[in-house]
Structure formats: C-alpha cells, structure tokens
Structure 1
Amino acid sequence: MSSNTLFVEKLGKQVQIVFDSKSLRIQSDATAIVPRQKKSKKSRSCVCLPTLETNDDPSSSPASSSLPIPHRNILHANYNARTNMVQLNTLVADKPSDPESTTQLFKFMYTVRDNEQEKATEFCQNIMTSVYQDLIPEKRVLVLINPFGGQAKAKSIFEEKVKPVLEAAKCKLDIQYTEHRYHALEIAKGLDIGSYDTIVTVSGDGLIHEVINGFLQRPDAREALQKVALGLIPAGTSNSLSISMSGEKLGFDPIHNALQIIKGRPLALDLCSVTYEDSRYFSFLSQSFGIAAYADLGTEHMRWMGDNRTVVGLMQEIFSKSTYQMEASLLIAESDKEKIKQNYKSGLKSSEWKSPAVGDGAVLDTIPPLSDPVPENWTTINGDVSIFLASNVPLLNRGMLSHPCVSANDGYIDLMLVRGGKGIGKQLSMFTSVDTGKHLDMDLVEYYKVKAFRLKPIIKPGKSAYVAIDGEHASAKQFQVEVHQALGSVLSLNPTFINTNVH
C-alpha cells in the first residue's frame, strides 16, 4: 500500500496526516487530546504529542516528523459530516522503543478543508480497512465484571482504564456485574451467541473458568466456543492466563488487554475435562495436589498479600517437610526433559496461528470411565509426593514459571512432579529457581507431557489434603483429567504464549 496523505486544519494551521503500510503519522501538530482519569473525575487535557526521537530513527528529524503510530494501535478513524471533522482514535506508547511500554489513549480531531469531504471519507475508510483487515471492527462485546474478586478493583479498572479504550474503538458494550458464584456460568450457558462477537471477563481467573464451563454445558458447546471469542481484562490476584499470554508486566496492564480484545485473533487453547465419580467439568489452567494446592487454597486468609501469599504457603509447606500420599496413573507422551525442551523451542520457531478445533455438539472423553481400570500403556506411580502440579499455562503466578515448556495448543498437559523425602535444602533450591524455569534441570523435578492422568489422593490419618482445579477448591477424591486439543480460544495479539527462553 502506497502512502495516503490528507491535509487538514487545526486552530487555523495546516496539519498533514500520512498513512502508509506500517503506520500513521501526524505532522505539524504539536498537541493532541488525551483523556486522563484522576480518581473518580474524568478530565480532558491538551498535552504535547510525542515526537520521533533521533535514537528511534536517525534518518528523521524531530522537527519534521511525529511519532509513527503502528496499525495495531489505531482504534478508529471516521469523518463526521455534521461537524466537518476527522477523528482518529489511537493508543500511543509512552516509551516507543520499549516493546513492553504502557500506552495512552489519544484522540486527534481536525477540520477538513473545503471541497475535500469526499477525500476525507475515503481516507478514513482506507485506514479502517487496512488496520482491521480480516478482524471484526466495532465488536459487540458482553462485559462481565466481578466486583468482589481479587482485591475488589475490577469495577474501577474497567471504568477508568478499559471502557474509554473500547468506546474509542466504537465497540458496542453490554456491561453486566456478576452477583453470586456461578452467575457468569449461568450467563454463558444461556447466552444468545448470535448477539455478541466476544465475551469479556473483568476479574481474576475464576470468572474465566465459569464462562468456559457455561459454554461447555450447552448442547451447542463447540459452536458457542467457536462463535463467541473470549477476551480478558486482568483484575484478580494471579491473572495466570493473562500473564502467560503477555508477560508479567503487560499481563497486568488493562489497556494492553483492551487492545487484545479490539485487535486480537483467537489463540487456540487446550482445555481439560475433569471427571469425578459424580461430576464432570472443564479446566483451563491447572490441576494440583500437594504443597502447590495448599499454597493456593490453604492461604485464602492471606489474600490481602496478593500473589505473595502463594510464596508464603510454599515456604510453610517446605519447612514443615510436608508430603502427600497418592496413586497416580499417567498417559505419558514424553518423559525426556531434553526432548521436551527441544520440541518446545522448535514449536516456537515455527509458530503460526492455529485455528480452534471445529465441530459441533457436546465434548466427549476418549479415555476409559473412572470406574474402569486404566489401560496397560498408562504408567502408575504410588507413594508420597510434595508436588503434583499439572498445567496448561507456563506462569501460574508472577515469578512462578513452573511449566516453562507449555504450549497453548500442543494437545498435552505439562505435569511437574516432585516426590517426597527430597529434603528442605533441595526443595528450597528448586523454589529459588522456579522464577526462571531452571528448576526443570534439577534431578528432583520430573516433568512429563501427558494426554491424560488419573489421581487418587490418599489422606493420611490426622492430616488434611487439598486438590486445586484452576486455583479453586476441588474434592480430595479420585478424579481423572483428559486434554482436548485447541477446544477453546482467547483473543490475543500473539500466536503463542510467552517465550520462556528455555535452554
């Protein structure tokens, strides 16, 4: 696409807008309007538009060029015939040279010169066609806000940070607040899937779990998952899926995640069915038993500490030399850690957008029922463990890269296993390495790619034990888990989870 130029006016001065195959540039304009929220007050102020610095592009002069705004950050462009003005809504990076820079919402408004109204209309249409291409502009968005989850900041995060960005992209918003546990599940289960393009959770991981299970309880479960994409606004304590998609900084940035809703594509996700004797549901994050489950569930009274409570819980269990007895059977696809690492790195190099699984109707399991014995090709492990932690995401908390070889949609569950009796020193060494994923190289850490597993907790006399599914309490009884490849999806700017830099 060749460059496209429109000359407009602001405060009686000529401004040049240049749009090409990579970016939008606004030249000869020293100001821009950006909305700023201060506590509960909404105000608009005139601030300087960032200019292109010499160290960003040595061939450009700050006096002649404004900062280029990439296509991804252009939210909307339109010409208003009533006001005879062009409006461009964009996100501008605070530190353009930093790929993890935060952004601000800028709204540029200019007067169209006489006899150039038709050109202005075509100019804006060209921008919209180019920056959205095969994406859906002006999405119909159902927003579900959990006002009580995490640290009870979801409402303010949405109102102050996210809503202005979605409105700037002209999204059509239907905002609902969840009123009780499983409310989001009920909404998703009864949703008219033809009325929305995406369903957005403003919460921690709990509301995501509810929406996925609401869809999967429908008779048209697969169609619902394919037709209504999931979008995330992190407003919880851990935000595990969000940080696994965008990293520990941007994964907590509401504006970045709003952009993923607007400009993201469906990133296919593996989901897991979890089956007990009397119930069956789905998991998108993790299934754990042992000290990791205690760190999730036994520290509920420390939620005021944020995700640091997990660290405290793990330390308590390590120093107490806690172990948990179990019987586990695994359908192992790979147990060699070096092969797992090489396959992970190869997958990243060849990463492409993978489409969510197609199909219709309900989602059925392929493994034997829980009441039947496991097949002979399964591997059974008996005895005490300190950690049994299966995951579909690499990061379960900030600083906890527990499963560094997870792929979003490789069709496997990553299982980390540490057997009992390894000693405090070795477990502390493992714990201090988990932020970089180097614990994977330690002999005491077993790491498997599995298609399914069956776990039977054995509760020792006088002791309690925890099972956590997606960070929530689950019954400490026998259950089994099977992965369903690419069954779900979430709107993302990238075709993979973060690069964990496994060596």
Structure 2
Amino acid sequence: MVLAKITDHGLLTDQTGRDSRIAGVFCCIPSGQADKNGSEELSNGTLIPFKNIVWVEGALNESAEITYIEQQDSRLKIRTIVAEVTGSQQSNEPGSKSSVSQLMALAYANSEPKKSVIVFVNPHSGKGKAIHLYKHDVEPVLNAARYHVELVKTEYTGHATEYMKYVDIDKYDGVICASGDGIPHEVLNGIYSRKDRVRAFEKLFIAQTPCGSGNAMALSCLGTLKPGLATLEIIKGHTVRSDLMLVCSKSSGPRISFLSQTYGVIAEADIGTEWMRFIGEIRFDIGVLLNILRKKQFPCRVAVKRITNDKKELSERYKSQYQQPGVTTQLDEDALKPKYFDGQLFDDDRLPAGWEWLDDNVTQNLSIFYTGKLPYIAKDVDFFPAALPNDGAIDLVLFDGRTQVWRSAHSLLQLDKGLHVWHDHVDHLKVESLKLVPMLEKGRTSYISVDGENFPVETIQVEVLPGVMKTVMNDGRYKDSGFLAHIG
C-alpha cells in the first residue's frame, strides 16, 4: 500500500518501494508530451494528473484501488496501486467510499465513467494493422476504464452503415471507430438512415481512435495520431455538438459528410492513386506533385450562399466565433432535412435567394476545389485552418489553376502550418451552402471525393447541418490550427 493525497492538480503519491501492478503496455508517444500526458515526478512524490486516473474502487482497510495511465520511457502504461488516500473533502461516507467518490468525480470532471460503446474495427485499415492497434493500444485503455464494448469487425464496404441502421441504441452511449475516416462516414450515414435519427444523433457520441491511413477526425478533435492516447482523450474529453454537411446529387439521396468534398487536383491525388495504396501515404504527395507540374485544370461552376466575402471578414468571424459557447439547442427533424433539395437539384438558371455564382474566370480554370469542416485532413495537412466545430459554416478553399507552378508549389508546401490560404491565388471563404457543377470536356474522366470516398462526377449541392453530431474533443475544441495566432 502507498500513501496518497488529493491536491488541486492531481493525486500526489509516495510510491517508494511500491508494489504496483502493470496492467498493460501500449502506445509510444513523444517524450516531449510527458508533462502533459504522463505523471510528473516531484521531489516529494509522484503527481498523477486526474485526467490520467481511469478507475477507482474501494479496497481493504478503507484504502482505494486506483487504475491510471503513466508515461515511462516514452511509453504509456496502465498501472494499478492500492493507496491510503488523504486530503479528501468532508463526507458522510465511510473513508474509502468518500475517497473513491471524490477521486472519480475529479477524474471524470468533464465526462462520465464506465460507458457502453460499439467499437468498429476495419481489419483492412492502416495497411491491415488496425486489429493489432486495437488489441495492443485501444482495448487495454477501454478495459482499464471499465467500458462495456460491443466489438464489430467490418466485413464489407457499408457494413457499419447497415449495422447502425438497426442497432438498439438504448444499449449504448456512443460509437468508437478504430479505423480510418471511412468508418465514421459509414456510421454517420447509418444513423442518418434511421427512423429515429434525431434521438440517435442526440444520444450517441461518435469518435475515432486512429487506426487507419486517414485519421482526420482523431487528429482534429483529439489532437493525436496515437491510438492509446486518443482513446484516453475519448474517455476524458469534452462532449461537443459539431456541424455536419449534407451532400445531394441526382444519382443518390442526401448523404452525410463529416470531413470534406473535393474536386480537382486533391481528388485526383486521393482517389486516382488508390492503385498505389501499397506505398503508403506518400502516394498522395506524388499525385499532387504530378498534377501541379502538369498544370492540370478542372473547369466547373460554383454557386454559394456566402457567409464571408473576403479574408478580412473570414478572420473577424473566426475571432468572434472561436470563444462562442457550443450548441445547446435541441435537435429536431427539420434540422436534418435539406433546405435546397426536394428530391431534385435546383435549376442553375434560378438560384435561391441569397445565392450567387463565383467568378467564372477562376472556376473555369480551377486546380483545387475543396470544402471541409475539420482543420486537419491528414498529418501535417492543415487545409482548413479557420474551421470551427459549430459555427454553422462550411469552409471553401479554391486554387486558381492559372498560377505559376512555383507559386502553387510554394503554397502547398505551407499546408503544415495552414499558411497556404493567405496566398493571392487561393480563395478561402465560409459558406452556408454551395453547388458544384463539373464542366469537364467530353471523354475526360476525373473524380469527386466525399470524406475520402469515390463519388460520381456530377453536380452536387452541399449544405451545413448545424450542431448535429455529438463527438468528443480535447478541451472542447479542435486541435490548434495556428489561425488565431496568425490573425492576432
């Protein structure tokens, strides 16, 4: 048994000669995160941050058994100690029960413990490593936190969609996708297809622990690409209601999108290089480079219902929205219905009130059309630095294909810091809704990508669905994109 004291910052323990038990070892993380994510060694003991404590229960002689996450030698470990806890607030409960109750309340100050979740694992994600990552990095953390897990290994494309259409949502608190970005897309569309979709969206949180090649949701919302650390963030993070997007076209009904829609160079580099998937993420960089060097253009028309007119307005809106409280209004069926799609697209010659066509001189010579709701679409790709979780807007970025190759390349080399949007040949605006009309010459093939999935090259309408998705975020906001620091 060790001595422990509750402090303002965590549980201070004297573990000299301790006999603690290691429940599992998982997830390498950078040593630079030790102070934030691990235990801090003090001169008079070890401070275990409340965030790292995942479970507490009573033990013999009014002691408490405490399970927590510890960093040691740049690795995260699950440890369990039995401690005599002091410093707790006055309570009518017996000693150990009082300590247990207080520690659990402090450990789960921003969340609730012992949830029941569906975990989808795509065995093919991450070049076939998803199962291994789940078993070694994710599952030990969920078990330590006493989560009830319904594990579903997807067997075919659309499996998660079909599963979520009919699952009994009353049994669960949320869904964790141990995968890339494809499974969250399926999960959300499965929920959208339900008859009780309003209640399902209100009840279930949707989160991703990064086990695939594309992990935009985990990186943007949880701030990490380490599956074990992401799982801890899911357990301890703030629940936030974030916007989704609804994509409508002639060939399919309304389809939920949480990440992006793209046409042009990015879509060609993503979908068009699927045959090179065996070489890993570098296939995307190769695809972009080849298309930029060839100065490929993708003519189209783009209509929008604007929120901002220029980058000055964009910056002002970002500053005003950044500190705004999250969505608190209750969902209803109207919030999930499209405003501008009644089974067919609106006529190009009769735009709805408030809509306008963007400059044809730009869109007829476009190299990149990209819309999104998350700041990071991949590691070191801060494509939408002004994106916010629930500002009721879609971020739209357009690259003019007439720009000199070196200027295009220079802007793309600044994607890691989100500085590309400040170049003159790049338009960045926020819109409520938009319409993309591809205008490729006859016989030319290309791609449209929705959340990284291949979509027919045809006219699409996209509109924002404010505050629909319940998810989890580190500190209740996206990973810092650097945009606020840049605009001052």
TM-score by length of 2: 0.88
Do 1:151 and 1:236's aligned partners in 2 also have CA atoms closer than 8 Å?
A: yes
Do 2:55 and 2:146's aligned partners in 1 also have CA atoms closer than 8 Å?
A: yes
Give the Cα separation in 2 of the matches to 1:52 and 1:200: 29
Do 1:274 and 1:283's aligned partners in 2 also have CA atoms closer than 8 Å?
A: yes
**RMSD of aligned Cα (Å):** 2.4
Equivalent residue, structure 1, for 2:54 = 75
Give the Cα separation in 2 of the matches to 1:360 and 1:380: 30
Do 1:220 and 1:360's aligned partners in 2 also have CA atoms closer than 8 Å?
A: no
1:195 aligns with 2:168: no
Equivalent residue, structure 1, for 2:475 = 494
Q: Which of the residues 113, 134, 151 maps onto 1:175?
A: 151
1:119 aligns with 2:95: yes
Give the Cα separation in 1 of the matches to 2:232 and 2:214: 20
Structure 1 residues 107, 198: closer, same or farther in 2, change over 3 A? same
Equivalent residue, structure 2, for 1:288 = 262
Quote how far apart the aligned CAs of 1:376 are. 5.1
Structure 1 residues 462, 359: closer, same or farther in 2, change over 3 A? closer
**Structure 1 residue ranges (4+ consecutive) displaced by more than 6 angstroms after TM superposition:** none
Aligned partner letter, 2:228: I
Q: Secondary structure at the match of 2:167?
A: coil
Aligned length: 457
1:92 aligns with 2:70: yes
Structure 1 residues 38, 395: closer, same or farther in 2, change over 3 A? closer
Aligned partner letter, 2:411: M
Structure 1 residues 20, 228: closer, same or farther in 2, change over 3 A? same
Q: Secondary structure at the match of 1:409?
A: coil
Q: Over residues 120-149 of structure 1, what are the superposed CA-to-partner deviations in whole Å (9 max), with x where a residue is unaligned?
A: 233212211332247321111111111112
Q: How does 1:186-225 map to 2 (within 5 A)?
A: 186-225=162-201
Equivalent residue, structure 1, for 2:34 = none
Do 1:385 and 1:420's aligned partners in 2 also have CA atoms closer than 8 Å?
A: yes
Quote how far apart the aligned CAs of 1:490 are. 1.1
Quote how far apart the aligned CAs of 1:108 are. 1.4
Q: Over residues 143-180 of structure 1, what are the superposed CA-to-partner deviations in whole Å (9 max), with x where a residue is unaligned?
A: 11111123111111111111111111111111111111
1:312 aligns with 2:270: no
Q: Which of the residues 33, 36, 45 maps onto 1:65?
A: 45
Give the Cα separation in 2 of the matches to 1:52 and 1:271: 39
1:19 aligns with 2:25: no
Q: Secondary structure at the match of 2:171?
A: coil
Give the Cα separation in 2 of the matches to 1:51 and 1:295: 42
Higher mean C-alpha displacement, 21-30 vs 201-210: 21-30
Quote how far apart the aligned CAs of 1:223 are. 1.1
Quote how far apart the aligned CAs of 1:69 are. 1.4
Equivalent residue, structure 1, for 2:88 = none
1:438 aligns with 2:432: no
1:458 aligns with 2:439: yes
Do 1:354 and 1:495's aligned partners in 2 also have CA atoms closer than 8 Å?
A: no
Structure 1 residues 498, 356: closer, same or farther in 2, change over 3 A? farther
Give the Cα separation in 1 of the matches to 2:374 and 2:329: 17
Aligned partner letter, 2:99: F
Do 1:233 and 1:254's aligned partners in 2 also have CA atoms closer than 8 Å?
A: yes
Equivalent residue, structure 1, for 2:30 = none
Q: Over residues 51-103 of structure 1, what are the superposed CA-to-partner deviations in whole Å (9 max), with x where a residue is unaligned?
A: 855xxxxxx6x2x222x11211110111245x9863211112448xxxxx863
Could you tell me which runs of 5 or more consecutive residues in structure 2 were left unpaired when the two chains were aligned. Answer: 28-37, 86-92
1:145 aligns with 2:121: yes
Equivalent residue, structure 2, for 1:415 = 396
Give the Cα separation in 1 of the matches to 2:123 and 2:39: 39
1:128 aligns with 2:108: no
Give the Cα separation in 2 of the matches to 1:434 and 1:244: 15
Q: Secondary structure at the match of 1:390?
A: strand
Give the Cα separation in 2 of the matches to 1:237 and 1:177: 17
Aligned partner letter, 1:256: L
Equivalent residue, structure 2, for 1:12 = none
Do 2:301 and 2:437's aligned partners in 1 also have CA atoms closer than 8 Å?
A: yes
Quote how far apart the aligned CAs of 1:362 are. 7.6
The share of aligned pairs that are identical, in percent, is 27
Equivalent residue, structure 2, for 1:338 = 312
Q: Secondary structure at the match of 2:245?
A: strand
Aligned partner letter, 2:5: V
Equivalent residue, structure 2, for 1:390 = 371
Q: Secondary structure at the match of 2:381?
A: coil
Aligned partner letter, 2:246: S
Aligned partner letter, 2:45: S
Equivalent residue, structure 1, for 2:139 = 163
Aligned partner letter, 2:51: R
Higher mean C-alpha displacement, 354-363 vs 235-244: 354-363
Equivalent residue, structure 1, for 2:247 = 274
Higher fraction of helix: 2
Do 2:25 and 2:76's aligned partners in 1 also have CA atoms closer than 8 Å?
A: no
Q: Which of the residues 17, 23, 44 maps onto 1:35?
A: 23
Give the Cα separation in 1 of the matches to 2:467 and 2:14: 45
Structure 1 residues 51, 30: closer, same or farther in 2, change over 3 A? farther
Give the Cα separation in 1 of the matches to 2:100 and 2:3: 14
Equivalent residue, structure 1, for 2:90 = none
Q: Over residues 250-282 of structure 1, what are the superposed CA-to-partner deviations in whole Å (9 max), with x where a residue is unaligned?
A: 2x1112211122222322221111111132211
Q: Secondary structure at the match of 2:413?
A: helix
Could you tell me which runs of 5 or more consecutive residues in structure 1 were left unpaired when the two chains were aligned. Answer: 1-8, 10-14, 40-49, 54-59, 96-100
Give the Cα separation in 1 of the matches to 2:228 and 2:17: 24
Do 2:222 and 2:234's aligned partners in 1 also have CA atoms closer than 8 Å?
A: no
Give the Cα separation in 2 of the matches to 1:442 and 1:180: 42
Equivalent residue, structure 2, for 1:265 = 238
Structure 1 residues 327, 134: closer, same or farther in 2, change over 3 A? closer
Structure 1 residues 186, 465: closer, same or farther in 2, change over 3 A? same
TM-score by length of 1: 0.85
Structure 1 residues 427, 28: closer, same or farther in 2, change over 3 A? closer
Equivalent residue, structure 2, for 1:44 = none
Equivalent residue, structure 2, for 1:403 = 384
